[in-house]
Amino acid sequence: MQKQVSFIEVIKQHIEEGDVVLPVFNSAAMKVQQELVKKEPDMRVLENAITTDQSLSSLVLQMANSSFYRGLVEVLTVKAAIVRLGMREVGRISLLVASKNQFRSGDKRLNWIMRKLWQHSVGCALGAKWLTKRCKLDELESHAFFAGLLHDVGKLLVLMVVEQMRKKDPKLPVTDALLLEAMASLHAQQGYSLMKLWNMPEPYCIVARDHHKDDYDNTNDMLILVRIANMMCNKVGIGLRKDATLMVSALEETHHFNLTEIDLAEMEIVLEDTTILTR
Ligand SMILES: [Fe+2]
Ligand SMILES: [Fe+2]
């Protein structure tokens, strides 16, 4: 027990003392998100934001041509992808692939965990987006997607810190149990601080901070959407956890939106489909 507490404290110290390289948020993706939340996004601004980042645009095309989205004809330009899939869909794809780029590690074990975390983030983003439609909260669609995508960014931060600690000290004993413990205990607060550092709008930072909190703000619809999406991902097993016994229908959050068992069963199918995208 003592060992676990000290490991967590060491990680915290590293972050607080500025002793680590922090993850950065892709600036092109930030521009895309700022455009997506507008009532009438400007297609040229969106296209420019994506195409000025070459690696981002090639990843966008890769995903737009994946089995999840593929049409009869391969799209070869971002513009063509926008014409076929729509501006908002291409915007979301670019956010997904930008976040995928962050979840990588040279350490095989950490890389596997990061991959699972990315799958979880995508599940939560698409799950929260799906819920906005079901709950008739269309105005929150792009916000909930983004908040879902970033809600666990604190876990990524913890893993990156551990990676850097291990580079300095390859013999550092890090078990999976220790990693899970450290992520669970640090990610909400550290994720909040990281997002503030990225100058993210406060509502997204709050989702990162409060998505596990017992006394959360039960008037914050976006937070509640992400909390439900998060629980559903854990129930279905998208990410590091799978707990099929989770009674999501009994949660206060699902009652808040009057979601039925049928809604949740439908959501499970939608979430399972998202795994095609993140294979
Ligand atoms: Fe979390
Ligand atoms: Fe989560």
pLDDT in tens, 237-249: 999 999 999 999 9
**How far apart, in whole angstroms, are the C-alpha atoms of residue 84 and residue 5?**
52
**How far apart, in whole angstroms, are the C-alpha atoms of residue 53 and residue 57?**
6
The whole domain housing 48 covers 2-277
Q: What is the pLDDT of residue 172?
A: 86
Q: What is the pLDDT of residue 5?
A: 53
The torsion angles phi and psi of 77, rounded to 5 degrees, stand at -130, 160
From the CA of 45, how far away is ligand 2's center (Å)?
31
Number of Cβ atoms within 10 Å of the Cβ of 13: 11
Number of Cβ atoms within 10 Å of the Cβ of 97: 22
Ligand nearest 121 Cα, by number? 2
From the CA of 157, how far away is ligand 2's center (Å)?
14
Q: What is the pLDDT of residue 19?
A: 80
From the CA of 165, how far away is ligand 1's center (Å)?
23
From the CA of 48, how far away is ligand 2's center (Å)?
31
From the CA of 151, how far away is ligand 2's center (Å)?
6
From the CA of 78, how far away is ligand 1's center (Å)?
33
Ligand nearest 155 Cα, by number? 1
Query: What is the largest distance, in Å, between two alpha-carbon atoms of the chain?
Result: 59
Contact in structure between 119 and 275 (CB atoms under 8 Å): yes
Ligand nearest 189 Cα, by number? 1
From the CA of 183, how far away is ligand 2's center (Å)?
11
pTM value surpassing 0.75: yes
Q: Which helix (H) or strand (E) holds 12?
A: helix 2-16
From the CA of 156, how far away is ligand 1's center (Å)?
11
From the CA of 188, how far away is ligand 1's center (Å)?
6
From the CA of 119, how far away is ligand 1's center (Å)?
13
**In tens digits, what is the pLDDT along the chain, a chain of 279 residues?**
555 558 899 999 999 888 888 999 999 999 999 999 999 999 999 999 999 999 999 999 999 998 888 777 899 999 999 999 999 999 999 999 999 989 999 999 999 999 999 999 999 999 999 999 999 999 999 999 999 999 999 999 999 999 999 998 888 888 999 999 999 999 999 999 999 999 999 999 999 999 999 999 999 999 999 999 999 999 999 999 999 999 999 999 999 999 999 999 999 999 998 888 888
From the CA of 84, how far away is ligand 1's center (Å)?
34
Q: What is the pLDDT of residue 170?
A: 87
Q: What is the pLDDT of residue 79?
A: 96
Q: What is the pLDDT of residue 213?
A: 98
**How far apart, in whole angstroms, are the C-alpha atoms of residue 124 and residue 235?**
12
What total of structural domains would you count in the chain?
Answer: 1
CATH number, domain with residue 173: 1.10.3210.10
From the CA of 72, how far away is ligand 2's center (Å)?
35
Q: What is the pLDDT of residue 71?
A: 77
